[in-house]
Amino acid sequence: MDLYGLIGHPIGHSLSPIMHNEAFASLGIDASYIAYSVDPTELPEAVRGLKALGVKGFNVTIPHKVAIMPLLDSIDPLALKLGAVNTVVIDQGKLIGYNTDGLGYLRSLNQILPKPLEDSNVLIVGAGGAARALFITLDEKKPQKLDIVNRSFDRAETLIKGSAHPENHTIFTYEEAEVVLQTYDVIINTTSVGMSPNDSEQPLSLNTVTAGSVVSDIVYNPLETALLKEAKAKGCIVHDGVGMFVGQGALAFEHWTKQQAPEKRMRQVVLEALA
Ligand code: ATR
């Protein structure tokens, strides 16, 4: 049996084991995925242990996504650019780091986009760690417009400084953004606003949004956030947070097994676990 896993601290009620074990089972792969809580002081020993045990690959979550980097033999260029690793492949004793968060998100977004990303105007809400992965990944795909709305201007500015063309990106206050939403085809919430138990909160009001545009939320607890409820009522296409979670998992699965991930089944089992 092949072994895979997840390291984080605390590991909580991660849905990754359910999702990956279902993916292995549905493809008839003899493998098992286990979540391990690893204290930050023990990260090097834990990584050496995973390698010694013959584990073939693992996911990395908070707080180890940056600290894992010096412990790896090589790092994929996108993960280097993002400055964080969420997936490790162990191949012939070598540890190779990837980051599937941004591309996983994009993979699920692409499935519902009404027009190609290159022709779309995109607004990212927030400028934290999650926003960074999405901003850098989306920026590489060169959407028509890629702008940011955030409470603190400085954080948004730091984010766009990483772009090849910072002058092409506008930073809005929430007040400014709320009156120009009709100019965006895709609006993505990357903040935790609206996450349970604050279900009734939303990062911005969608008064000026155009029906048919996409509203995406990376929050998946609750599955239908207040933001997505308003988006649905306004005739928008909604993209929930399970999309990003399954997308990053599907890409990690493919790095490990070199087989196409059973994405529909993975989404289904995650939705069942959340219900
Ligand atoms: P993560 O790594 O999950 O993205 P983070 O780095 O703490 O978390 O980033 C949180 C993001 O949510 C930031 O954009 C933050 O805005 P500021 O940079 O202005 O702090 C945003 N955020 C958090 N709580 C918020 C709130 N109540 N209203 C608006 N934005 C909020």
What are the tens digits of pLDDT across the range 179-194? 999 999 999 999 999 9
Residues 30 and 88 in one domain: yes
pLDDT confidence of residue 244: 95
Q: Percent of the chain beyond pLDDT 90?
A: 98
Residues 137 and 18 in one domain: no
What are the tens digits of pLDDT across the range 91-132? 999 999 999 999 999 999 999 999 999 999 999 999 999 999
Work out the average pLDDT over 143-158: 97
Residues 135 and 194 in one domain: yes
Residues 116 and 209 in one domain: yes
36-40, 156-160, 161-165, 226-230: lowest mean pLDDT where? 161-165
Residues 36 and 158 in one domain: no
Cα of 32 vs centre of ligand 1, distance in Å, is 35
| 14 is known to lie in a ligand binding site | yes
Complex confidence, ipTM = 0.95
Best residue among 136, 151, 160, 188 to mutate for probing ligand 1, ranked by most atoms within 8 Å of CB: 151
Binned at pLDDT 50, 70 and 90, residue 12 comes out as confident
Q: Is the predicted pLDDT of residue 52 greater than 90, yes or no?
A: yes
CA–CA gap between residue 46 and residue 38 (Å, rounded)? 7
Residues 110 and 205 in one domain: yes
Residues 8 and 62 in one domain: yes
Which residue type sits at 199? Answer: D
Look up residue 210 and give its DSSP letter: P
β-pair partners for 172: 149
Residues 194 and 231 in one domain: yes
Best residue among 191, 201, 202 to mutate for probing ligand 1, ranked by most atoms within 8 Å of CB: 191
Cα of 102 vs centre of ligand 1, distance in Å, is 18
Q: Percent of the chain beyond pLDDT 70?
A: 100
Residues 136 and 220 in one domain: yes
Residues 218 and 117 in one domain: yes
**Phi and psi at residue 105, to the nearest 5°:** -60, -50
Work out the average pLDDT over 246-263: 98
| 16 is known to lie in a ligand binding site | yes
Cα of 250 vs centre of ligand 1, distance in Å, is 26
What are the tens digits of pLDDT across the range 237-250? 999 999 999 999 99
Work out the average pLDDT over 6-26: 96
Work out the average pLDDT over 44-73: 97
| 128 is known to lie in a ligand binding site | yes
Domain span holding position 199: 103-240
pLDDT confidence of residue 98: 98
Q: Which residues does 156 contact at the CB level (< 8 Å), separation at least 6?
A: 127, 148, 149, 150, 171
pLDDT confidence of residue 59: 98
Residues 37 and 112 in one domain: no
Q: Is the predicted pLDDT of residue 136 greater than 90, yes or no?
A: yes
Which ligand 1 atom lies nearest to the CA of residue 127? Answer: 14
pLDDT confidence of residue 130: 92
pLDDT confidence of residue 205: 98
- Please provide the average confidence, as pLDDT, over all residues in the chain: 97
CATH at 39: 3.40.50.10860
Number of domains making up the chain: 2
**Phi and psi at residue 104, to the nearest 5°:** -65, -40
Considering the entire predicted model, what is its pTM?
0.94
CATH at 206: 3.40.50.720
Element (H, E) at 217: strand 214-217
Kindly state the tokens that stand for 96.
Answer: 């190779």
Which ligand 1 atom lies nearest to the CA of residue 190? Answer: 4
Other Cβ atoms within 10 Å of 112 Cβ, number: 13
pLDDT confidence of residue 188: 98
Q: Is 141 in the pocket of ligand 1 (CB under 6 A)?
A: no
Cα of 123 vs centre of ligand 1, distance in Å, is 15
Residues 223 and 197 in one domain: yes
Work out the average pLDDT over 220-240: 97
Work out the average pLDDT over 140-158: 97
Q: Are 165 and 144 in contact (CB under 8 A)?
A: no
